[in-house]
Structure 1
Protein backbone atom coordinates (compact mmCIF):
# COMPACT_ATOMS: atom_id res chain seq x y z
CA UNK A 1 0.00 0.00 0.00
CA UNK A 2 1.40 3.36 -1.05
CA UNK A 3 0.92 6.59 0.88
CA UNK A 4 -1.35 9.17 -0.76
CA UNK A 5 -0.94 12.84 -1.62
CA UNK A 6 -1.56 14.79 1.58
CA UNK A 7 -0.42 11.97 3.89
CA UNK A 8 2.10 12.69 6.62
CA UNK A 9 5.47 10.94 6.50
CA UNK A 10 7.58 10.47 9.63
CA UNK A 11 11.26 10.58 8.69
CA UNK A 12 14.61 9.74 10.23
CA UNK A 13 17.79 10.70 8.37
CA UNK A 14 20.52 8.05 8.32
CA UNK A 15 23.38 10.20 9.56
CA UNK A 16 26.88 9.67 10.90
CA UNK A 17 25.88 12.03 13.70
CA UNK A 18 24.46 9.82 16.47
CA UNK A 19 22.28 12.60 17.92
CA UNK A 20 20.86 13.53 14.52
CA UNK A 21 20.17 9.91 13.62
CA UNK A 22 17.51 9.55 16.33
CA UNK A 23 15.68 12.83 15.56
CA UNK A 24 12.26 12.36 13.94
CA UNK A 25 10.87 14.76 11.35
CA UNK A 26 7.51 14.95 9.67
CA UNK A 27 6.60 16.03 6.17
CA UNK A 28 3.51 16.05 3.97
CA UNK A 29 3.33 14.52 0.49
CA UNK A 30 2.70 17.20 -2.13
CA UNK A 31 2.79 15.14 -5.32
CA UNK A 32 3.81 11.75 -6.74
CA UNK A 33 4.81 10.24 -10.05
CA UNK A 34 6.00 6.83 -11.25
CA UNK A 35 9.54 7.22 -9.87
CA UNK A 36 9.34 9.72 -7.05
CA UNK A 37 7.46 11.24 -4.16
CA UNK A 38 7.58 15.02 -3.69
CA UNK A 39 7.50 16.06 -0.05
CA UNK A 40 7.62 19.32 1.85
CA UNK A 41 10.87 20.20 3.61
CA UNK A 42 10.78 18.00 6.75
CA UNK A 43 10.11 19.67 10.09
CA UNK A 44 11.36 18.40 13.46
CA UNK A 45 8.53 17.37 15.73
CA UNK A 46 8.23 19.52 18.84
CA UNK A 47 10.59 22.31 17.71
CA UNK A 48 9.42 23.20 14.20
CA UNK A 49 13.05 23.22 12.98
CA UNK A 50 13.30 22.60 9.25
CA UNK A 51 15.71 19.89 8.09
CA UNK A 52 17.90 20.75 5.13
CA UNK A 53 18.35 17.66 2.98
CA UNK A 54 20.96 16.93 0.32
CA UNK A 55 20.99 14.68 -2.73
CA UNK A 56 21.99 11.20 -1.62
CA UNK A 57 20.67 11.49 1.95
CA UNK A 58 19.24 8.12 3.03
CA UNK A 59 15.90 8.17 4.83
CA UNK A 60 13.96 5.76 7.03
CA UNK A 61 10.26 6.58 6.70
CA UNK A 62 6.89 5.45 7.99
CA UNK A 63 3.29 6.54 7.44
CA UNK A 64 0.11 5.53 9.21
CA UNK A 65 -2.81 3.68 7.63
CA UNK A 66 -6.17 2.52 8.94
CA UNK A 67 -6.13 0.37 12.07
CA UNK A 68 -3.06 2.05 13.52
CA UNK A 69 -0.71 0.27 11.11
CA UNK A 70 2.73 1.77 10.56
CA UNK A 71 4.04 1.29 7.03
CA UNK A 72 7.84 1.50 6.83
CA UNK A 73 10.13 1.96 3.86
CA UNK A 74 13.60 3.24 3.04
CA UNK A 75 14.31 5.90 0.44
CA UNK A 76 16.82 8.57 -0.54
CA UNK A 77 16.86 12.14 -1.86
CA UNK A 78 17.57 12.48 -5.56
CA UNK A 79 16.37 15.97 -6.42
CA UNK A 80 14.36 19.07 -5.60
CA UNK A 81 11.52 21.03 -7.17
CA UNK A 82 11.07 24.76 -6.84
CA UNK A 83 7.38 25.58 -6.96
CA UNK A 84 5.44 27.94 -4.74
CA UNK A 85 7.28 26.14 -1.96
CA UNK A 86 10.47 24.09 -2.14
CA UNK A 87 9.79 20.37 -2.49
CA UNK A 88 12.16 17.45 -1.90
CA UNK A 89 12.12 14.61 -4.42
CA UNK A 90 12.65 11.16 -2.89
CA UNK A 91 12.73 7.77 -4.58
CA UNK A 92 9.36 6.01 -4.63
CA UNK A 93 9.74 2.56 -3.01
CA UNK A 94 8.86 -0.73 -4.64
CA UNK A 95 5.51 -2.06 -3.34
CA UNK A 96 7.06 -5.17 -1.76
CA UNK A 97 9.64 -3.08 0.12
CA UNK A 98 6.95 -1.46 2.31
CA UNK A 99 6.64 -3.29 5.63
CA UNK A 100 3.41 -3.16 7.59
CA UNK A 101 3.52 -3.29 11.38
CA UNK A 102 0.47 -3.04 13.59
CA UNK A 103 0.71 -0.78 16.60
CA UNK A 104 2.19 -2.66 19.58
CA UNK A 105 3.54 -5.34 17.25
CA UNK A 106 7.20 -5.17 16.25
CA UNK A 107 9.36 -6.68 13.57
CA UNK A 108 12.05 -9.10 14.76
CA UNK A 109 15.20 -9.93 12.85
CA UNK A 110 17.99 -12.43 13.36
CA UNK A 111 21.00 -10.60 14.80
CA UNK A 112 24.10 -11.52 16.77
CA UNK A 113 24.54 -8.50 19.03
CA UNK A 114 26.36 -8.17 22.32
CA UNK A 115 24.04 -7.86 25.31
CA UNK A 116 25.06 -7.28 28.94
CA UNK A 117 22.63 -8.94 31.35
CA UNK A 118 21.98 -8.45 35.07
CA UNK A 119 19.20 -10.51 36.64
CA UNK A 120 17.17 -9.57 39.69
CA UNK A 121 19.13 -12.32 41.45
CA UNK A 122 22.29 -10.24 40.81
CA UNK A 123 23.72 -12.67 38.26
CA UNK A 124 25.78 -10.79 35.65
CA UNK A 125 27.07 -11.99 32.29
CA UNK A 126 27.57 -10.95 28.66
CA UNK A 127 25.75 -12.87 25.91
CA UNK A 128 24.98 -12.80 22.18
CA UNK A 129 21.50 -12.24 20.86
CA UNK A 130 19.67 -14.63 18.55
CA UNK A 131 17.09 -12.07 17.44
CA UNK A 132 16.01 -8.54 18.35
CA UNK A 133 12.93 -6.40 17.85
CA UNK A 134 11.09 -3.41 19.21
CA UNK A 135 9.23 -5.53 21.78
CA UNK A 136 11.93 -7.85 23.02
CA UNK A 137 14.89 -10.05 22.15
CA UNK A 138 16.36 -13.48 22.76
CA UNK A 139 19.93 -14.41 23.64
CA UNK A 140 22.11 -17.47 24.13
CA UNK A 141 23.57 -18.25 27.54
CA UNK A 142 25.66 -21.06 29.05
CA UNK A 143 24.10 -23.97 30.88
CA UNK A 144 25.61 -22.87 34.22
CA UNK A 145 23.82 -19.51 34.17
CA UNK A 146 20.90 -19.92 36.54
CA UNK A 147 18.07 -18.07 34.91
CA UNK A 148 14.38 -18.90 35.18
CA UNK A 149 11.17 -17.93 33.47
CA UNK A 150 9.69 -14.92 35.23
CA UNK A 151 13.06 -13.49 36.25
CA UNK A 152 13.48 -9.76 35.77
CA UNK A 153 16.55 -8.51 33.88
CA UNK A 154 18.29 -5.17 33.45
CA UNK A 155 20.31 -5.03 30.25
CA UNK A 156 21.93 -3.00 27.55
CA UNK A 157 22.45 -4.14 23.97
CA UNK A 158 25.13 -2.86 21.60
CA UNK A 159 23.50 -1.77 18.31
CA UNK A 160 25.63 -1.00 15.22
CA UNK A 161 24.19 0.82 12.22
CA UNK A 162 25.24 0.61 8.60
CA UNK A 163 26.62 4.18 8.71
CA UNK A 164 29.20 3.07 11.29
CA UNK A 165 27.58 4.60 14.38
CA UNK A 166 27.00 2.46 17.50
CA UNK A 167 24.36 2.84 20.20
CA UNK A 168 24.06 1.31 23.69
CA UNK A 169 20.35 0.63 24.23
CA UNK A 170 19.30 0.05 27.87
CA UNK A 171 16.09 -1.70 28.91
CA UNK A 172 14.42 -3.72 31.65
CA UNK A 173 12.72 -6.96 30.75
CA UNK A 174 11.18 -10.22 31.89
CA UNK A 175 12.26 -13.72 30.86
CA UNK A 176 9.17 -15.26 29.27
CA UNK A 177 10.59 -18.51 27.93
CA UNK A 178 13.78 -20.59 28.04
CA UNK A 179 14.65 -23.21 25.44
CA UNK A 180 17.39 -25.73 26.31
CA UNK A 181 19.47 -26.83 23.33
CA UNK A 182 21.01 -30.26 22.77
CA UNK A 183 24.45 -29.00 23.81
CA UNK A 184 23.06 -27.72 27.12
CA UNK A 185 23.14 -24.06 26.20
CA UNK A 186 19.94 -22.04 26.48
CA UNK A 187 18.04 -19.57 24.37
CA UNK A 188 16.47 -17.03 26.72
CA UNK A 189 13.52 -15.05 25.39
CA UNK A 190 12.89 -11.64 26.95
CA UNK A 191 10.06 -9.15 26.58
CA UNK A 192 10.68 -5.49 27.36
CA UNK A 193 8.90 -4.21 30.45
CA UNK A 194 10.53 -0.76 30.56
CA UNK A 195 12.28 0.92 27.63
CA UNK A 196 12.29 4.58 26.62
CA UNK A 197 10.55 5.34 23.32
CA UNK A 198 13.76 6.83 21.93
CA UNK A 199 15.67 3.64 22.78
CA UNK A 200 12.97 1.45 21.24
CA UNK A 201 13.16 3.50 18.04
CA UNK A 202 16.89 2.77 17.86
CA UNK A 203 16.14 -0.96 17.81
CA UNK A 204 13.35 -0.56 15.27
CA UNK A 205 15.68 1.42 13.01
CA UNK A 206 18.29 -1.33 13.29
CA UNK A 207 15.69 -3.99 12.44
CA UNK A 208 14.62 -2.20 9.29
CA UNK A 209 18.20 -1.68 8.19
CA UNK A 210 18.73 -5.44 8.62
CA UNK A 211 15.54 -6.30 6.77
CA UNK A 212 16.50 -3.93 3.95
CA UNK A 213 19.91 -5.66 3.68
CA UNK A 214 18.28 -9.11 3.61
CA UNK A 215 16.01 -8.09 0.75
CA UNK A 216 18.93 -6.74 -1.28
Structure 2
Protein backbone atom coordinates (compact mmCIF):
# COMPACT_ATOMS: atom_id res chain seq x y z
CA UNK A 1 0.00 0.00 0.00
CA UNK A 2 1.34 3.40 -1.00
CA UNK A 3 0.79 6.60 0.98
CA UNK A 4 -1.86 8.91 -0.48
CA UNK A 5 -1.96 12.62 -1.32
CA UNK A 6 -1.89 14.70 1.89
CA UNK A 7 -0.43 11.80 3.94
CA UNK A 8 2.43 12.83 6.21
CA UNK A 9 5.87 11.32 5.66
CA UNK A 10 8.54 11.12 8.39
CA UNK A 11 11.99 11.30 6.90
CA UNK A 12 15.63 10.79 7.89
CA UNK A 13 18.33 11.77 5.43
CA UNK A 14 21.44 9.60 5.03
CA UNK A 15 24.45 11.59 6.22
CA UNK A 16 28.03 10.96 7.35
CA UNK A 17 27.23 13.33 10.22
CA UNK A 18 25.83 11.05 12.95
CA UNK A 19 23.81 13.86 14.57
CA UNK A 20 22.21 14.97 11.29
CA UNK A 21 21.43 11.35 10.33
CA UNK A 22 19.28 11.05 13.48
CA UNK A 23 17.16 14.16 12.75
CA UNK A 24 13.58 13.37 11.76
CA UNK A 25 11.77 15.66 9.33
CA UNK A 26 8.10 15.76 8.40
CA UNK A 27 6.77 16.28 4.90
CA UNK A 28 3.50 15.75 3.02
CA UNK A 29 2.68 14.14 -0.31
CA UNK A 30 1.42 16.88 -2.63
CA UNK A 31 1.12 14.90 -5.88
CA UNK A 32 1.78 11.41 -7.21
CA UNK A 33 3.22 10.29 -10.55
CA UNK A 34 3.64 6.85 -12.10
CA UNK A 35 7.16 6.45 -10.74
CA UNK A 36 7.50 9.18 -8.10
CA UNK A 37 5.97 11.09 -5.22
CA UNK A 38 6.07 14.88 -5.16
CA UNK A 39 6.54 15.99 -1.56
CA UNK A 40 6.78 19.31 0.24
CA UNK A 41 10.19 20.50 1.48
CA UNK A 42 10.80 18.46 4.68
CA UNK A 43 10.65 20.41 7.94
CA UNK A 44 12.14 19.55 11.33
CA UNK A 45 9.35 19.47 13.88
CA UNK A 46 9.87 21.72 16.86
CA UNK A 47 12.46 23.98 15.23
CA UNK A 48 10.63 24.53 11.94
CA UNK A 49 13.96 24.18 10.11
CA UNK A 50 13.58 23.26 6.43
CA UNK A 51 15.86 20.57 5.00
CA UNK A 52 17.47 21.42 1.68
CA UNK A 53 17.66 18.28 -0.44
CA UNK A 54 19.72 17.58 -3.55
CA UNK A 55 19.33 15.01 -6.33
CA UNK A 56 20.66 11.64 -5.15
CA UNK A 57 20.04 12.15 -1.42
CA UNK A 58 19.01 8.84 0.18
CA UNK A 59 15.97 8.94 2.45
CA UNK A 60 14.61 6.58 5.08
CA UNK A 61 10.86 7.18 5.23
CA UNK A 62 7.82 5.96 7.11
CA UNK A 63 4.13 6.80 7.06
CA UNK A 64 1.36 5.79 9.43
CA UNK A 65 -1.71 3.74 8.61
CA UNK A 66 -4.74 2.71 10.65
CA UNK A 67 -3.99 0.94 13.92
CA UNK A 68 -0.70 2.75 14.50
CA UNK A 69 1.18 0.71 11.89
CA UNK A 70 4.39 2.28 10.60
CA UNK A 71 5.18 1.59 6.94
CA UNK A 72 8.90 2.00 6.15
CA UNK A 73 10.65 2.35 2.82
CA UNK A 74 13.87 3.67 1.30
CA UNK A 75 13.93 6.12 -1.57
CA UNK A 76 16.07 8.87 -3.09
CA UNK A 77 15.62 12.32 -4.56
CA UNK A 78 15.29 12.32 -8.36
CA UNK A 79 14.40 15.96 -9.03
CA UNK A 80 12.19 18.93 -8.23
CA UNK A 81 9.06 20.62 -9.51
CA UNK A 82 8.34 24.32 -9.36
CA UNK A 83 4.67 25.16 -8.86
CA UNK A 84 2.91 27.39 -6.34
CA UNK A 85 5.42 25.84 -3.95
CA UNK A 86 8.66 24.00 -4.70
CA UNK A 87 8.23 20.24 -4.46
CA UNK A 88 10.77 17.44 -4.19
CA UNK A 89 10.40 14.47 -6.52
CA UNK A 90 11.33 11.16 -4.84
CA UNK A 91 11.38 7.71 -6.40
CA UNK A 92 8.31 5.60 -5.66
CA UNK A 93 9.46 2.32 -4.01
CA UNK A 94 8.42 -1.13 -5.20
CA UNK A 95 5.34 -2.17 -3.19
CA UNK A 96 7.08 -5.29 -1.87
CA UNK A 97 9.92 -3.17 -0.43
CA UNK A 98 7.60 -1.41 2.05
CA UNK A 99 7.86 -2.92 5.55
CA UNK A 100 5.01 -2.79 8.05
CA UNK A 101 5.84 -2.61 11.76
CA UNK A 102 2.94 -2.72 14.20
CA UNK A 103 3.01 -0.64 17.36
CA UNK A 104 3.77 -3.59 19.65
CA UNK A 105 5.38 -5.94 17.14
CA UNK A 106 9.05 -5.50 16.29
CA UNK A 107 11.04 -6.68 13.30
CA UNK A 108 13.82 -9.12 14.25
CA UNK A 109 16.86 -9.92 12.08
CA UNK A 110 19.88 -12.20 12.23
CA UNK A 111 22.89 -10.10 13.18
CA UNK A 112 26.35 -10.65 14.67
CA UNK A 113 26.83 -7.46 16.66
CA UNK A 114 29.22 -6.71 19.50
CA UNK A 115 27.46 -6.74 22.88
CA UNK A 116 29.15 -5.73 26.14
CA UNK A 117 27.39 -7.17 29.19
CA UNK A 118 27.57 -6.54 32.93
CA UNK A 119 25.72 -8.96 35.22
CA UNK A 120 24.10 -8.02 38.53
CA UNK A 121 27.06 -9.51 40.43
CA UNK A 122 29.51 -7.27 38.55
CA UNK A 123 30.87 -9.80 36.06
CA UNK A 124 31.64 -8.31 32.66
CA UNK A 125 31.96 -10.12 29.33
CA UNK A 126 31.87 -9.44 25.60
CA UNK A 127 29.73 -11.53 23.24
CA UNK A 128 28.30 -11.53 19.72
CA UNK A 129 24.58 -11.44 19.11
CA UNK A 130 22.70 -14.06 17.08
CA UNK A 131 19.75 -11.80 16.32
CA UNK A 132 18.33 -8.48 17.40
CA UNK A 133 15.00 -6.68 17.25
CA UNK A 134 13.01 -3.89 18.83
CA UNK A 135 11.90 -6.20 21.64
CA UNK A 136 15.12 -8.00 22.54
CA UNK A 137 18.21 -9.89 21.42
CA UNK A 138 20.00 -13.20 21.84
CA UNK A 139 23.69 -14.07 22.12
CA UNK A 140 26.02 -17.05 22.35
CA UNK A 141 28.04 -17.72 25.51
CA UNK A 142 30.63 -20.30 26.52
CA UNK A 143 30.74 -22.43 29.69
CA UNK A 144 32.63 -19.74 31.64
CA UNK A 145 29.61 -17.44 31.59
CA UNK A 146 27.00 -18.47 34.16
CA UNK A 147 23.51 -17.14 33.55
CA UNK A 148 20.05 -18.03 34.80
CA UNK A 149 16.55 -17.22 33.62
CA UNK A 150 15.33 -13.88 35.08
CA UNK A 151 18.90 -12.56 35.48
CA UNK A 152 19.06 -8.81 34.81
CA UNK A 153 21.95 -7.63 32.62
CA UNK A 154 23.24 -4.14 31.81
CA UNK A 155 24.11 -4.11 28.10
CA UNK A 156 25.80 -1.90 25.52
CA UNK A 157 25.19 -2.87 21.90
CA UNK A 158 27.31 -1.54 19.01
CA UNK A 159 25.02 -0.84 16.05
CA UNK A 160 26.48 0.00 12.60
CA UNK A 161 24.46 1.74 9.88
CA UNK A 162 24.59 1.75 6.08
CA UNK A 163 25.99 5.30 5.97
CA UNK A 164 29.14 4.20 7.85
CA UNK A 165 28.18 5.60 11.27
CA UNK A 166 27.74 3.54 14.45
CA UNK A 167 25.78 3.98 17.68
CA UNK A 168 26.08 2.48 21.15
CA UNK A 169 22.68 1.38 22.45
CA UNK A 170 22.31 1.07 26.22
CA UNK A 171 19.59 -1.09 27.78
CA UNK A 172 18.78 -3.44 30.63
CA UNK A 173 17.94 -6.96 29.50
CA UNK A 174 16.25 -9.83 31.28
CA UNK A 175 17.16 -13.44 30.44
CA UNK A 176 13.95 -15.20 29.36
CA UNK A 177 15.41 -18.46 28.06
CA UNK A 178 18.72 -20.33 27.89
CA UNK A 179 19.23 -23.04 25.29
CA UNK A 180 22.17 -25.43 25.62
CA UNK A 181 23.79 -26.23 22.28
CA UNK A 182 25.59 -29.42 21.18
CA UNK A 183 29.01 -27.75 21.16
CA UNK A 184 28.76 -26.94 24.87
CA UNK A 185 27.89 -23.32 24.32
CA UNK A 186 24.59 -21.73 25.25
CA UNK A 187 22.21 -19.34 23.54
CA UNK A 188 20.86 -16.71 25.94
CA UNK A 189 17.67 -14.94 24.90
CA UNK A 190 16.94 -11.50 26.33
CA UNK A 191 13.96 -9.22 26.38
CA UNK A 192 14.39 -5.49 26.92
CA UNK A 193 13.45 -4.89 30.56
CA UNK A 194 14.36 -1.18 30.43
CA UNK A 195 15.18 0.78 27.28
CA UNK A 196 14.39 4.34 26.22
CA UNK A 197 12.34 5.03 23.08
CA UNK A 198 15.38 6.76 21.56
CA UNK A 199 17.60 3.71 22.08
CA UNK A 200 14.93 1.33 20.79
CA UNK A 201 14.51 3.42 17.64
CA UNK A 202 18.25 3.03 16.93
CA UNK A 203 17.80 -0.75 16.91
CA UNK A 204 14.63 -0.60 14.81
CA UNK A 205 16.44 1.56 12.26
CA UNK A 206 19.27 -1.02 12.08
CA UNK A 207 16.79 -3.90 11.64
CA UNK A 208 15.01 -2.07 8.87
CA UNK A 209 18.28 -1.41 7.04
CA UNK A 210 19.30 -5.08 7.39
CA UNK A 211 15.95 -6.32 6.09
CA UNK A 212 16.19 -3.92 3.18
CA UNK A 213 19.68 -5.24 2.34
CA UNK A 214 18.49 -8.87 2.53
CA UNK A 215 15.69 -8.21 0.05
CA UNK A 216 18.10 -6.60 -2.42
CA UNK A 217 20.63 -9.43 -2.55
TM score, norm. by length of structure 2: 0.97
User: What whole-Å deviation, never above 9, does each CA across 1:30-88 have from its counterpart, x for those lacking one?
Assistant: 01111001111111122111111111111111111111111111111111111111111
| CA distance in structure 2 between the aligned counterparts of 1:33 and 1:84, rounded to whole angstroms | 18
Measured after TM superposition, the shift of residue 25 of structure 1 is: 0.9
**Total equivalences in the alignment:** 216
What is the alpha-carbon distance in structure 1 between the residues aligned to residue 199 and residue 91 of structure 2?
A: 28
Cα RMSD after superposing both structures: 1.0
Name the counterpart of 1:72. 72
Partner residue, 2:123: 123
Matches within 5 A, 1:21-32: 21-32=21-32
Residues 113-140 of structure 1 show CA distances to partners (whole Å, capped at 9, x for unaligned) of: 0000011122210000001111111111
The CA distance in 1 between the partners of 2:168 and 2:36, in whole Å, is 35
1:99 aligned partner: 99
Q: CA deviation at 1:179?
A: 1.1
The equivalences for 1:159-198 within 5 A come to: 159-198=159-198
Q: Which runs of 4+ in 1 moved over 2 A?
A: none
Aligned residue number for residue 207 of structure 2: 207
C-alpha distance after superposition, 1:168-202 (max 9, x if no partner): 11111111111111111111111112222222111
Deviations 1:138-164 (A, max 9, x none): 111112211111011111111111211
- Distance across 2 between alignment mates of 1:172 and 1:47: 32
Match of 1:85 in 2: 85
Whether contact under 8 Å (1:22, 1:198) holds in the other structure is no
Asked whether 1:51 is paired with 2:43, we answer no
In the superposition, the TM-score normalised over structure 1's length comes to: 0.97
Is 2:25 aligned against 1:5? no
Q: Contact 1:109/1:207 (CA < 8 Å) preserved in 2?
A: yes
> 1:21 Cα shift?
1.0
**Structure 2: distance between partners of 1:56 and 1:33:** 18
Q: Note the residue ranges of structure 1 that are not aligned, 5 or more in a row.
A: none
Q: Give the Cα separation in 2 of the matches to 1:105 and 1:114.
A: 24
In the alignment, the residues of structure 2 paired with residue 190 and residue 169 of structure 1 have an alpha-carbon distance, to the nearest angstrom, of 15
Which segments of 5 or more consecutive residues in structure 2 lack a partner in the other structure? none
* Other structure's SS at 1:187 match: strand
